[in-house]
Amino acid sequence: MSKIDDVLYVAASQLGYCADDDPEPGSKFGRWMAELLDEDWLAGPSSEIWWCCIFVSWCLNQAGVECPGYPSYNTNIVIRHAGDAILDNIYDAQPGDVIIFDWDGNGVTDHVGIVEANHGSWLQTIEGNVSNSVMRVTRDWSCVAYIVRPNYEDAEYEPSKCDPDIRFMQLMLNTQLANRGCPDDQLVEATGIYDWHTTVPLIKMAQEWFLCQRDNTLVCDGNWTMQMARLLNKYPVQTGCANVLSWITKAALIGCGYKGAHLDLQSWNFSTALSDNIVEYQKEHGIPATGCVDSDTLFALTHYDE
């Protein structure tokens, strides 16, 4: 993975962390910063420490990425030291950039996060200390004060080739793969391009589910087989399902250009809206419009580029 991907992967891996549920005092990020700077007060309690900037510092550190002004626990200090790393045009924000907010426009910075996707009229971010948790957030431009670009060695992604929704899906796929014990060097490169580098892991995930749940003779190698086809036709993915096959369906639809709130990759539910999308896709590709994901449908979703 690239350094940008490393930062986003580290940040996404912390989604769902809540300092209120931490068995130790404060937040894990505050305790890290307290030890790093030998400043005990940064350890918390988390309700008294604004740890959003500390979270960004931790993500950059874990990914091995340097950024002017970091590590820091204060965004105003970051701005004083960021220098040329501050973008002249905030609208040029790209994934992996540090985004600093000023809620009331008074010139005093209030919050900070990491840009996950720039959708043109709005941004998708990962932020710490949102309700004392790490959360994925959508922001408009009105509250953005600064964009700071870390020292990435990578070339910028080409907007014409990199689809931010597909890129986000690939990062979420890497979280799924890592949770299954996949080595770091076998994770998907989040290029924003949907091709076999992404579809093979998706097929393999489906095979692993069928291996555990339906047929213990199935080979899990990411290659499409008649055995896999027969299983999907016997046990199609449909409304009401809540398993990894529903997640794979959503990911593949995003890869094929579909968008919508019902394609929520933090949920495994197969909704009626998702079934409607499947019907639309099936009609476009000459597949019987059942709204269920059978062999022909999943094959098309994961082999569209061949």
Q: What value does the mean pLDDT take over residues 72-78?
A: 93
pLDDT at 25: 87
Q: What is the dihedral of CA 240, 244, 245, 247, to 10 degrees?
A: 80
pLDDT at 120: 86
Q: What value does the mean pLDDT take over residues 241-251?
A: 92
pLDDT at 16: 86
Residue with more model confidence, 262 or 32: 32
pLDDT at 304: 59
pLDDT at 32: 95
Distance between CA atoms of 125 and 102, rounded to whole angstroms? Answer: 15
Q: What value does the mean pLDDT take over residues 165-187?
A: 88
Statement: residue 269 has pLDDT above 60: yes
Q: What value does the mean pLDDT take over residues 185-214?
A: 90
Q: Is the link from the previous residue into 150 a cis peptide, with omega within 30 of 0?
A: no
Q: What value does the mean pLDDT take over residues 101-128?
A: 92
pLDDT at 108: 87
Is residue 5 very low, low, confident or very high in pLDDT (cuts 50, 70, 90)?
confident
CA distances from 171 to 2, 156, 213, 285, 299 (A): 12, 17, 26, 27, 22
What residues are paired with 133 via a beta bridge? Answer: 18, 130
DSSP string for residues in the chain = --HHHHHHHHHHTTTT-BGGG-SSSS-HHHHHHHHHHT-GGGG--GGGS--HHHHHHHHHHHHT---TT-S-S-HHHHHHHHGGGB-S-GGG--TT-EEEE-TTSSS---EEEEEEEE-SSSEEEEEEEETTEEEEEEE-GGGEEEEE-----SPPPPTTT--HHHHHHHHHHHHHHHHTT--GGGSPP--S--SHHHHHHHHHHHHHHHHHHT-TT---SS---HHHHHHHHHS-B-TT-BSHHHHHHHHHHHHTT---TT--TT--B--HHHHHHHHHHHHHTT----SSB-HHHHHHHHSTT-
pLDDT at 292: 94
Domain 3-148 has CATH 2.60.40: no
pLDDT at 198: 92
Statement: residue 160 has pLDDT above 80: no
Total residues belonging to the chain: 306
Q: What value does the mean pLDDT take over residues 95-102?
A: 95
pLDDT at 161: 61
* Contact call for residues 75 and 57 (beta carbons, < 8 A): no
Statement: residue 157 has pLDDT above 80: no
Q: Across the chain, what does the average pLDDT equal? A: 89
Statement: residue 154 has pLDDT above 60: no
Domain ranges of the chain: 3-148, 164-302
